[in-house]
Amino acid sequence: MLLFQLPEDVLYHILSYLDCKTLSRLSQVSKVICHIVSRDVVWKNIAKGLLNTGITRYWTDIYPHILLKDRVKTAQNWCDGVCKRSTPLKWKTKLLPWIQLDGDTLFLSQAAEIRSYPLRHGCKKIRYNPVKVYSGHQADVCRFVLTDSHLISGGSDGKILVHNRRSDSTMKLFGHNQEVNCIDSRNELIVSGSRDQTIKIWTLASSCPRDLIPLYDRVWSVVINPTLSSFVTGTACCENLSPLRIWDVERKSVMEWEEPHDSALYCMQTDGNHMIASGSSYYGVVRLWDKRLTECLQFFQLSSDLVSSPVYCLRFSSSHLYAALATALHSLDFRHNLNITIR
């Protein structure tokens, strides 16, 4: 019996132990073999060990509509820092923008409003007129987060607004006495961080915070783990504390990283597995981190020497990273159509 005459489940199990280079060579043997090798089940073990393939540490798939083989190619570009840069949206007034992605829609805060724009990855520019606007803060929006049902924002007025995306109703949360610099939400759990040096934990069912964690430094960024078992905080580097820390559910710091230039970490995002992307307060620098390594993996300086700006927010999909600076939205395109080969 030939190898490719084996039952499919046995064949896929054998192929799942092969490396990228071997699978790439196999795919060139014939069209039939290429079709078999292109199946997601063959690439899943490889994808879990790479950056931003959509396979999380718990084997869930964030991007099931994209072939894993293609995501593995793109992951090599993320690791090597290979990308195409563009500036799809600019504005004249300096702002403190924040962004979120929801499918092919980009949400961008501009002053006290949050606006949504349709994305077209084949276009170099974004249509300037928004399709929807969220308002309610009396001062600039510092951060906001999207869930399936809500848009939750924190402002420099110290308020947290919970916008219901289905009914257009809004609920106000009060608890911080200074600006709410960061916020994240999952499964009706909300975590907010403030210039008042505290983290507060909320639920959508209550207008009062459920818990408070003093950090003794200004809190600039927070991300909740999808399992709700931990969250990551980034602080201002004003105290003798590591700015990038992971906390478990018992509120104990379990992992720490030092930022190479002691700059405040304004924003971060994780791929749910090995990668963390962070944006710093100096020179528009975006850094990619591999949690298995102690040093920064890649960095990208987005602002020029003449016009330096912090990276106020960044978000990434399987193929693009978007970073919002004071006067522009920057895009890094890591797609696999950059003439690379699987190695």
Q: Which amino acid would we find at residue 47? A: A
Q: Which amino acid would we find at residue 253? A: S
Dihedral (Cα; 328, 321, 125, 128), 10-degree rounding: -60
Residue 239 token pair: 């105290």
- What's the pLDDT at 330? 94
CA distances from 105 to 38, 49, 199, 269, 317 (A): 29, 29, 29, 18, 12
- What's the pLDDT at 336? 62
In the sheet that holds 313-316, the strands lie side by side as: 84-90, 328-333, 320-324, 313-316
- Residue 142: CB atoms within 10 Å: 25
**Prediction pTM value:** 0.75
Residue 80 and residue 75: Cα distance in Å, rounded?
9
The Cα diameter of the chain in Å comes to 73
Residue 332 and residue 121: Cα distance in Å, rounded?
11
Q: Residue 5 phi/psi, 5° resolution?
A: -100, 0
Q: Which amino acid would we find at residue 172? A: K
Averages of pLDDT over runs of 10 residues in the chain (343 residues) are 71 83 84 85 91 90 92 93 91 88 90 89 73 92 91 93 90 89 89 90 85 84 77 72 68 57 72 90 88 89 78 91 93 72 46
- What's the pLDDT at 215? 81
The owner of tokens 């309610």 is: 136
For residues 236 and 218, the answer to whether their CB atoms sit within 8 Å is: yes
Residue 126 and residue 89: Cα distance in Å, rounded?
6
Geometric angle at alpha carbon 323, from 322 and 326, rounded to 5°: 145
- What's the pLDDT at 340? 42
- What's the pLDDT at 250? 56
- What's the pLDDT at 342? 46
